[in-house]
Amino acid sequence: MLTHVDPIEVLFQATRTRKPIEGLVAALERVESRPVWAVRLANPVLEIRAICPVEWSGVHEKDMPALVGTKQVFLPKELDREAGVVVLSRSEYVEQAKETLKATIKQGDVLPATVIAVLPRREDSPARLVVEVAGVPVEIPRKLASRSLSLPLDRQYRPGQVIAVKVLDPENLTFSVKDAYPDPWQAYSFTRGQIISGTVIQIVQGIVFIEPDVAPGIAGISPYPVRGEVRRGDRVQCIVATFDRERKKLHLRLRRVM
C-alpha cells in the first residue's frame, strides 16, 4: 500500500531539523526593497515559494547577480505555510560546512574543486573565484586564482570546470589555484630565435611586458618598438632573444602587432 507523503510536511520537518537542502538560484528579485534570491528547490513544493534574502546569502549585495543560475545548498530557516514562503540561509550552511572541512584538510593538500562563479571586482574587493571544495563554497582572490597575467578570471574559468587547489591555510580556508600547478618558469622552455605569439600585459618606461600564449604566467620583456605603437591588450608576435630559467628572465624582440 502506497503512503502519501505531504511535501509541505517534508519541508516543515527539514526546517525544524535544519536539514540542508539544495536549490537552484533561479532569479534575483526585490521584496520590500531588499534583494532576495528566488530559489527553485531540488524537490520543489508547488505551494511554497523559496527565497534567500541578502542578509542570509553569504555574499555582498553586489555579488548576488553572479550566483544566479548556480546550484547552492541552504539551511531552511523559517516556513510560513499561510504565506506560502520558506526562508533559506546560504550563509549559515556555508559556515557550518566550513567547520567540517577544516577538520579534514591540512596545509599543502592539493584537492579537486569545481568552479561555481567569478565575482567581479568591487571598490573594496578584488575579483574572486568561487569554487566548491568537498561540497563547501569558498572564495579565492584573483592573486591566488589567476594562472594568467593577461586574462581576466571570467575568461580563464567557466562554471562546472574542475580544477586543482592547494591548501595554504586550513584554519582560514585559504586556497590557491596558482600554487596547485607547476611553476611556469620550470614547466616551459624557450630557444633563441623562436617565434611566439603573446599578449601585452603592460608598458613601463619603454619596456613592453608580454605574456606568451604557450606559457601563461610568464612575463617576457621587449624594448618598445622604434616604429609603430603598441598598447596594453595588443596581440603581438615576438622573437625569443634569451631565456634564463633560473633567473626567470625572458627577453623578446617585437616583430609585429597582430
**Is it the case that residue 5 has pLDDT exceeding 60?**
no
**Is it the case that residue 2 has pLDDT exceeding 50?**
no
State the pTM of this model. Answer: 0.81
Specify the CATH number for the domain of residue 209.
Answer: 2.40.50.140
Q: Is residue 196 part of a domain?
A: yes
153 contacts: CB under 8 Å, gap ≥ 6: 118, 127, 128, 129, 142, 145, 146
At 191 the pLDDT is: 97
Statement to judge: residues 77 and 151 lie in one domain = no
**pLDDT tens digits, one per residue of 97-131:** 999 999 999 999 999 999 999 998 887 788 999 99
Q: Is residue 192 part of a domain?
A: yes
> Domain containing 34: what range?
7-93
Domain boundary pick from 154, 180, 206: 180
> From CA 251, how far away is CA 240, in angstroms rounded?
6
At 256 the pLDDT is: 92
**pLDDT tens digits, one per residue of 24-45:** 999 999 988 899 999 998 877 7
